[in-house]
Amino acid sequence: MQLKGATAIVTGGGTGIGRAVCLDLARAGVQGIVVNYSRSGAEAESTVSELAALGATAVAVKADVSREAEVRDLVALGMERFGRLDVLINNAGTTRFIPIGDLDAVTDEVWQAILGVNLLGPWYAARAAAPHLKAAHGCIVNVASIAGLRASGSSLPYGVSKAALTHLTSWLAMALAPEVRVNAVNPGRVSSRWFRQPFGEEAAAAQDAASAERTPLRRVVTPEDVSQAVMGFIASDAVTGQHLVVDGGVSIAY
pLDDT digit string (tens) for 138-150?
999 999 999 999 9
At 204 the pLDDT is 73
At 199 the pLDDT is 65
8 A C-beta contact, residue 80 and residue 4:
no
Mean pLDDT for 51-56 is 98
CA–CA gap between residue 40 and residue 19 (Å, rounded): 11
CA–CA gap between residue 209 and residue 39 (Å, rounded): 29
Measure CA 245 to chain center: 13
Q: Which residues contact 43 (CB under 8 A, 6 or more apart)?
A: 14, 15, 19, 37
Mean pLDDT for 168-196 is 91
pLDDT grade, residue 203 (50/70/90)? confident
pLDDT grade, residue 206 (50/70/90)? confident
> Which residues are bridge partners to 4 per DSSP?
none
Domains of the chain by start residue, with CATH: 7-249 (3.40.50.720)
8 A C-beta contact, residue 47 and residue 220:
no
Say how many residues make up the chain. Answer: 254
254 is catalytic: no
